[in-house]
Structure 1
Amino acid sequence: MSYVPHGKHLIAGNWVAANETFPSEPTNGEPFSFSRGTPEHVNKAVEAAEEAFATYGWLADEERAKFLETIADEIEARGAAITEIGTAETGLPEARLEGERGRTCGQLRFFAEHIRKGTYLDQRKDEALPDRTPLPRPELQMVQRPIGPVAVFGASNFPLAFSTAGGDTASALAAGCPVVVKGHPAHPGTGELVADAIAAAIDKCDLHPGVFSLVQDGGQAVGKALVEHPLICAVGFTGSLRGGRALFDLCAQRPVPIPFFGELGSINPMFILPQAASARGDEIGKGWAGSLTMGAGQFCTNPGVAVVLDEHADAFIAAAKGALESAENQTMLTSAIADSYQQGAESVAKISGVKALVQNECADREAGAQLYEVDAALWLENKELSEEVFGPLGIVVRAKDTAQVVDIAKSLEGQLTSTLHMDSADMSLAQELMPVLERKAGRLLVNGFPTGVEVADAMVHGGPYPASTNFGATSVGSMSIRRFLRPVCYQNLPAELLPNVLRD
């Protein structure tokens, strides 16, 4: 391997070793040892972040933009090594890692351009009205300001785009907030190499080294220390409902509670409406199978459930079944994720009334596609069927009539996405479903598949709980910067005391 990890933490510009280590879990090659994080590492990183905020939080937008672009340049300079170690650690193919690296660098540059425009500041000004009766009005100015140091938890399924220099880190740095990342144990070497790129960018831009730190995994104690640290002002998280909810509760129970922006995944239901199912059910079924198995089903937008009227279901199911039966097993990100997937598939199969259509065998760290069928009555009675199984598992829900389709939509918990497959003749049912689904999901699609999240101004990657912990936020797109800003009003302040942007 061209890059051999040193296994240390990056804390305020210094690579720091630890007494205890843990091994990586590569799909090929020898494992490497990595320093295990401790609460003391967290404390040093957060205190350095607070010190850095005194200058970084007041930098001009152009300086922060150049910093983000320099990070992207430094990641690209290490591109081949990042792909090599990333594929070894995660089992993801090279093309996927290269595409994800492009997305990671793209969103860094995306935020650089976004803050250059200045609209994210939402500046407002009310001129003084000294002669107004019965009372004069003072001059009022408002602008969005960075909140302070932010904690970011790396995600297992996106070692680049949702991890060390991913969307949470990019948007927080763009806002003017220093970041402390807790690395994910699924890809510690990838995280180390990306952190090295950020450290190089800090040096080139002559910034305070506390602007960014990486503390490698140290179990629950490190996560707890990070979210409970009194200097941390917000948390960004992408991961499981169980882990996210535990951190969310810790944030809420602090003496001074802070916002926890958790993206926790969902089942992303698809509704195949009657005319579409009748006209092109086989096409939709094949497309669903491809979306379901993309990346071994390890996407938070994986469409795990398809709802279709019983009388129009056969062609759709046959096409999906045929495609999934021939799908090859894929390596999952970690052994723990593979074990959890197998357990989830077994739990679904054991429910009375569930019909197994495809049951590819799973072995070790590999995942085989699974397909099950239930009727709507069983679905509505059994909450376990609506719980996410992280992997290439699909459930077809057969409804007896359109009223049951609407009932299923009403029964859903919060989702990241919801999809309608429809033709023009399905418009009436689609119009009936829309007021329901709009309240359930952050992103609604027609005649598409939700895997793949565009980094764009209009994108929403979030949704009502349990899809995310804050329905008013998104973790992807330009609006995600709002999570790390707060409005401040300045009344009758002399120009010398105002933020630079308000002096112009």
Structure 2
Amino acid sequence: MGGAAGAAVAGGAAGVDAAARAAASSGIESASREERAAWLEALAAALEADRGELVAIAHRETHLSETRLDGEVTRTAAQLRFFAGVAREGSYLEATLDSPDPTTIPPRPDLRRMLRPLGPVAVFTASNFPFAFSVLGNDTASALAAGCAVVVKAHPGHPELSRRTAGLAVAALASAGAPDGILSLVEGVEAGVALVQHPSIAAVGFTGSVRGGRALFDLACARRAPIPFYGELGSINPVVVTPAAAQERAADLAAGLVGSFTRDGGQYCTKPGLVFAPSDSGFVDALASVLADAPAQRLLTDGMSGAFADGASAFAGRDDVEVIGTVRASDTDVEVAEASSPVVIVVEAATFLASREDFLAECFGPLTVVVGYADSAELSAAVGVLEGSLTATIQHAGDEDVAPLTDALSRIAGRVVFNGWPTGVAIAWAQHHGGSWPSTTASVHTSVGASAIRRFLTPIAYQDAPQSVLPAELQDGNPLRIPRRENGALGA
């Protein structure tokens, strides 16, 4: 291995041990925020410089279009630069100072508190975003910004791309003067299990299935010293179309929905997989008309194609639903490898409520379930059984009172969208990409946006400490000029 602990480590416990130990001894936590920001910017530049070859590899391995992948490289570089800015700005540290006050009961000493790096982080990459949630994706960027070394577990859906990205990252970090060990790659199921259990790993970031995430989550909790497991798992992202909205713009809503749930083969964690629309409003007819022209697409892997076909067939085999679109069975390897066609399953609210577990199960791919409701009572009952999701969407007319609906959906979703579609997650300080189980394992955190860095930090308070031992961010006079709260007042 060379450079920053090597571009890749062979699978297995021995390889994981080497990578985790190198991460633990890297010393990244002692680097300044400016140094870490510069390393992130170097990674962004390296990614963009190798854009053409990376996109070609990703296209070959994932079947996603080169246009989509090229845009994802741009997004990934933007994420790296975004977290460079977060590190430089410094408010994420939550630096807080309280002066001594002998008049309080009990007397208050000199207290200074901030967040510090948690330690080496294991990052499990996603299949559906081979750049933005992969080797140099959001989890890696936020962990490095926080001052944590990262050991990446490559996704088997794009192994060559993972190795190539890790290689260019290691070289870029070495050229930028980063210490050895702050980024490395491991591969294989055995390596993933060993990584979560390794004593040097302090936290895990994961994007993937509920089943896989739950298994690793349980391993993280079962350790002698349990560690945080930040998993983004399954989400159906409900949409509510109000009667007024359906009457006002049914055709436009149908076009928007089809565009959203079929985008890149419906392989988005924010795909709208469940839609509540008023029965007999014309919305389903409009949807059928638009869906007739929607293209089929080959999914990321043959396994995903087969799982999608099985899931769609299970829905279509019911005698209490209407099927719009073509459901392709997965009887042979040839069929599994073919493109998957978009499917809409239409069901009435009473049937949905009677078989809620079936209809609330995520079907990864271009499928959505439309639930027809007769009145506000049926809609309220249906919304009341929803589980946690990353997003919820309300399509309404401009003058409608949607406050009660907003309140209900806010209880189960991390982001509520109004008169838009949830696919597409902006990189911003105010962004939240999370939700309660099963969408994530830690509903108070996000995996996109500035506060994603908070997952990989832990508080430390100093009481009556001499100036010589305090971090510069907590010293008198605020020498680094970061945002701080002093005696209750925010300032810089």
Q: TM-score, normalised by structure 2?
A: 0.93
Q: Give yes or no for the alignment of 1:47 onto 2:21.
A: yes
Residue 385 (structure 2) aligns with? 411
Q: Give yes or no for the alignment of 1:347 onto 2:339.
A: no
Work out the CA distance in 1 between the residues paired with 2:132 and 2:70.
11
Q: CA RMSD in A?
A: 1.5
Out of 193, 196, 206, which is 2:177 matched to?
Answer: 206
Q: Confirm or deny: 8 A CA contact 1:418 1:443 kept in the other structure.
A: yes
Q: Confirm or deny: 8 A CA contact 2:267 2:366 kept in the other structure.
A: yes
Residue 151 (structure 1) aligns with? 122
Structure 1 gap segments, 5+ residues each: 1-8, 19-36
- Compute the displacement of 1:433 (Å): 1.3
What SS does the corresponding residue of 1:329 show, helix, strand or coil? coil
- The residue type equivalent to 2:140 in the other structure is T
Work out the CA distance in 2 between the residues paired with 1:15 and 1:171.
20
What SS does the corresponding residue of 2:25 show, helix, strand or coil? helix
Work out the CA distance in 2 between the residues paired with 1:377 and 1:460.
33
Q: Confirm or deny: 8 A CA contact 2:8 2:186 kept in the other structure.
A: no
Work out the CA distance in 2 between the residues paired with 1:76 and 1:269.
35
Out of 247, 251, 258, which is 2:220 matched to?
Answer: 251
Work out the CA distance in 2 between the residues paired with 1:17 and 1:464.
34
- Write the mapping of 1:275-294 to structure 2, written as runs, cut at 5 A: 275-294=244-263
Residue 263 (structure 1) aligns with? 232
Q: Give yes or no for the alignment of 1:369 onto 2:342.
A: yes
Q: Confirm or deny: 8 A CA contact 2:8 2:184 kept in the other structure.
A: no
Work out the CA distance in 2 between the residues paired with 1:212 and 1:278.
54
- Write the mapping of 1:114-263 to structure 2, written as runs, cut at 5 A: 114-129=86-101, 131-132=102-103, 136-216=107-187, 218-219=188-189, 221-263=190-232
Work out the CA distance in 1 between the residues paired with 2:65 and 2:231.
27
- The residue type equivalent to 1:389 in the other structure is C
Residue 42 (structure 2) aligns with? 70
Q: Give yes or no for the alignment of 1:298 onto 2:267.
A: yes
- Relative distance call for 1:133 and 1:370 in structure 2 (3 A) is closer
- The residue type equivalent to 1:436 in the other structure is A
What SS does the corresponding residue of 1:266 show, helix, strand or coil? coil
Work out the CA distance in 1 between the residues paired with 2:60 and 2:348.
42
Residue 471 (structure 1) aligns with? 443
- Compute the displacement of 1:352 (Å): 3.3
Out of 13, 30, 41, which is 2:5 matched to?
Answer: 13
Work out the CA distance in 1 between the residues paired with 2:249 and 2:289.
16
What SS does the corresponding residue of 1:487 show, helix, strand or coil? strand
Tell which deviates more after alignment, 355-364 or 335-344: 355-364
Q: Confirm or deny: 8 A CA contact 1:309 1:402 kept in the other structure.
A: no
Q: Confirm or deny: 8 A CA contact 1:276 1:426 kept in the other structure.
A: no
- Relative distance call for 1:148 and 1:134 in structure 2 (3 A) is closer
- Relative distance call for 1:60 and 1:12 in structure 2 (3 A) is closer
What SS does the corresponding residue of 2:30 show, helix, strand or coil? coil
Structure 2 gap segments, 5+ residues each: 330-334, 480-492
What SS does the corresponding residue of 1:165 show, helix, strand or coil? coil
- Compute the displacement of 1:311 (Å): 3.4
Work out the CA distance in 2 between the residues paired with 1:207 and 1:115.
16
Work out the CA distance in 1 between the residues paired with 2:398 and 2:161.
47
- The residue type equivalent to 1:14 in the other structure is G
Out of 441, 448, 451, which is 2:413 matched to?
Answer: 441
- The residue type equivalent to 2:312 in the other structure is A
Work out the CA distance in 1 between the residues paired with 2:111 and 2:69.
48
Work out the CA distance in 1 between the residues paired with 2:298 and 2:466.
61
Report the identity percentage. 43
- Compute the displacement of 1:292 (Å): 1.0
- Compute the displacement of 1:321 (Å): 1.3
Residue 3 (structure 1) aligns with? none
What SS does the corresponding residue of 2:145 show, helix, strand or coil? helix
Tell which deviates more after alignment, 353-362 or 264-273: 353-362
- Compute the displacement of 1:136 (Å): 3.6
What SS does the corresponding residue of 1:411 show, helix, strand or coil? coil
Work out the CA distance in 2 between the residues paired with 1:186 and 1:87.
11
- Compute the displacement of 1:324 (Å): 1.7
Q: Confirm or deny: 8 A CA contact 2:389 2:414 kept in the other structure.
A: yes
Residue 286 (structure 2) aligns with? 319
